[in-house]
Amino acid sequence: MTHFSFDIVGFDLDGTLLDTSGDLAAAVNHALASVDRPPLTVEQVKPMIGGGARHMLKQGLTATGGYDEAMLDTLHAELLAYYEANICVLTRPYPGVIDALDALAAKGVTLGIVTNKIERFARTVLGELGLTDRFACILGGDSMAESKPSPMPIHEMVRLCRKSGGGEGRAAFVGDSIFDIQAGKAAGLPTIACSFGFLMQPVGELGADAVIDGYEDLLPTLEGLAR
């Protein structure tokens, strides 16, 4: 095992490790169809992802005619039920993810996940893909009192990774949304943004310390941040 500059690397899930856009768009469209709204394309839904299912649905409803709170409550439940039953139909890891995770593990890096997805959904989709055991902790949007962009779950991820043997060295966080970068920076961690994720704005506007265009860039980018 060779020395690496970071002991812990945390990741967002949707739009960072996994392309979940097809299954999330299907869930949004299922909810919209129940109130006779037109469907949205996957590309329309992508920038709505990142703040949790309710946030995503709000934007979908706004884009197709608006909503009231009663409608939002009803359709949120519809969306979650549909998504839970169809959680891994189209979802796949991004190209190069498995190789990058293998390379980090080979260097003794402890890995964690902090997502705004409901924790049981995150665990289900990771289990379906056979990825759960790669991560020392998996924190969802409902795991703590606050979710990203709060730094609280990032701090907890670092704590749990260290508790599991992650060492006392540096930690970094990788994500694709403003929620991820703001949370990582507020927690005092170097941040890396994924240009291929579910961007709500141009990647250069996220304020990350570095940007990767693919997972082949991850390890050299981490090394560069440590200099």
Q: Are strands 18-19 and 92-93 parallel, antiparallel or unpaired?
A: antiparallel
Stretch (H or E) spanning 154: helix 152-161
Q: φ, ψ for residue 208 (rounded to 5)?
A: -70, 160
Residue 23 and residue 89 in contact, taking contact as beta carbons nearer than 8 Å: yes
Catalytic residue among 7, 12, 176, 217: 12
Q: How many CB atoms are located within 10 Å of the residue 42 CB?
A: 16
Q: How many CB atoms are located within 10 Å of the residue 13 CB?
A: 24
> Does the active-site annotation cover 23?
no
Residues known to be catalytic? 12
